[in-house]
Amino acid sequence: MEIISDPHDMQGRARQWRGQGLKVVLVPTMGFFHQGHVSLMEYGKTIGERLVVSLFVNPAQFGPQEDLGRYPRDLDRDARLARDAGVDCLYTPEPGGMYPPGYQTFVEVESLADGLCGASRPGHFRGVATVVLKLLNQVSPQVAVFGEKDYQQLMVVKQMVADLNVPTEIVGRPIVREPDGLAMSSRNTYLSPEERAAALCLYRALLAVRELVATGAKSREHILAAVRQLISATPGSRIDYVSLVDPATLQEVEAIQGEARLLLAVWINNTRLIDNTLLSESRLCCV
């Protein structure tokens, strides 16, 4: 596996691959790999001829009070895991290479990025859209693969790519969970054993809602009340947002008609976790 850190070298290698007619797939990450990342890599391997994984903890998507400084990092372990997953190239740019002195261009996606995580983390999606566009320009992949855990991020990136005519297909892949249901996240490493147990309230809330919907519940009021009740009964937890949205526009819906997405952001003491699930209208009965 090749490791490239210089954006110009990355562009050069991508140009070479394009010249050879190879299909390039990119999995963008911030590292500290877990099975969720590995599943994206394994999928990427099945659909392309050259698999690039970018590893860059992007300062532009962290707010001043957020966890940029303590975000977990372990390059040696990540390189081992990427090699084992069959990655051809681990791309590890430095902040100074991505945002050199004098850097002044940012990408802003409008309404899709406004609410939900965008409301709680001002500037976050501006940083994400900017770095993802830069990575797509540096790697020129035919396909880029993202996890659905960051569902709003996936939708923001799809919109940006469509709006700016970027010739890359954006593919979302299912959330990977721990055996007990907790969505895998590099931030799970922040949790103490007690907090780790409390963090299960997110998955429990999603399961409870899936059951409600299976028995015919549709209304936003009913669904959100059930989630709020379950989460607020968990010590140490504080809801950032719970939303029932149209899966394409991320606009709030009053009831599930066809499909809706339930999105959750919850603080477990000082750690903010997100999760989501797709809900399909039950044909059984109506509540």
Smaller CB distance to ligand PAF: residue 27 or 202? 27
Binding status of residue 117 toward ligand PAF by CB under 6 A: no
Stretch of 74-82, 103-111, 124-132, 250-258 lying at the interface with ligand PAF (CB under 6 A): 124-132
Smaller CB distance to ligand PAF: residue 149 or 218? 149
Q: How far apart are CA 79 and CA 5, in angstroms?
A: 13
Are 198 and 235 in contact by the 8 Å Cβ rule? The answer is yes
Are 23 and 147 in contact by the 8 Å Cβ rule? The answer is no
Q: At what angle do helices 200-214 and 220-232 cross, to 10 degrees?
A: 150
Catalytic residue (one of 8, 34, 37, 124): 37
Whether 124 sits among the annotated catalytic residues: the reply is no
Closest alpha carbon to 147 in 33, 281, 5, 24: 33
Task: Tokens for 76, please give them.
Answer: 């040696």
Residue located via tokens 């009964």: 233
Q: Which of 24, 52, 98, 131 binds ligand PAF (CB under 6 A)?
A: 131
Closest CB 257 distance from ligand PAF, rounded Å: 30
Binding status of residue 132 toward ligand PAF by CB under 6 A: yes
What are the backbone dihedrals phi and psi of residue 2, each rounded to the nearest 5 degrees, phi first? -90, 140
Q: Which of 39, 61, 92, 188 binds ligand PAF (CB under 6 A)?
A: 61
Residue 242: beta bridge partners?
264
Binding status of residue 30 toward ligand PAF by CB under 6 A: yes
Using CB under 6 A as the criterion, which residues of the chain lie in contact with ligand PAF when the complex forms? 28-30, 58, 61, 128, 131-132, 150, 153
By annotation, the residues acting in catalysis are 37
